[in-house]
């Protein structure tokens, strides 16, 4: 990807030099040739072609954060189940952002909801 961008910028640079040294050209025209034919289009192309790598990096960072959170949560539940006191929050984290009650979905292993009471009649269609 970078080879195409570098070669295109080189060609456009040569076009700008030819325009600047031409008897009918100007340095201002050479500058706009380089910017409008070179930098602007190649900036757009580089941004579009770099999107998959940015998404991979973002996904990897999110997965690393989730793994660290899961390990921290597992350590807290392990220490609480063995009667140890929970560890204080790590320095640099936002106070109150994560509490011991905050768990990942399905981490508790409990039923999703309590059974319906027999005092409430089930909903039916009217005859």
Q: Domains of the chain: which residue ranges?
A: 2-42, 50-86
Mean pLDDT across the chain: 80
pLDDT of residue 106: 62
Both tokens assigned to 72: 């921290």
- Alpha-carbon distance of 66 to 116, in angstroms, equals 35
Both tokens assigned to 14: 């040569």
Report the pLDDT averaged over residues 63-91: 77
pTM tops 0.75, yes or no? no
The DSSP-derived string for 52-101 is: HHHHHHHHHHHHHHHHHHHHHHHHHHHHHHTTPPPPPPPTTSPTTSS-TT
Percent of the chain beyond pLDDT 90?
Answer: 53
pLDDT of residue 33: 93
Residue 1 has pLDDT above 80, yes or no: no
């Amino acid at each position: 990807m970078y080879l195409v961008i570098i070669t295109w910028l080189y060609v456009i640079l040569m076009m700008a030099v030819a325009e600047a040294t031409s008897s009918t050209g100007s340095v201002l025209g050479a500058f706009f040739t380089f910017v409008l034919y070179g930098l602007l289009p190649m900036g757009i192309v580089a941004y579009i072609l770099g999107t998959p790598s940015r998404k991979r990096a973002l996904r990897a960072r999110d997965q690393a954060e989730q793994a660290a959170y899961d390990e921290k949560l597992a350590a807290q539940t392990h220490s609480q189940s063995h009667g140890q006191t929970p560890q204080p929050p790590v320095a640099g984290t936002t106070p109150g952002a994560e509490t011991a009650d905050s768990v990942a979905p399905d981490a508790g292993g409990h039923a999703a909801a309590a059974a319906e009471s027999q005092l409430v009649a089930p909903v039916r269609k009217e005859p």
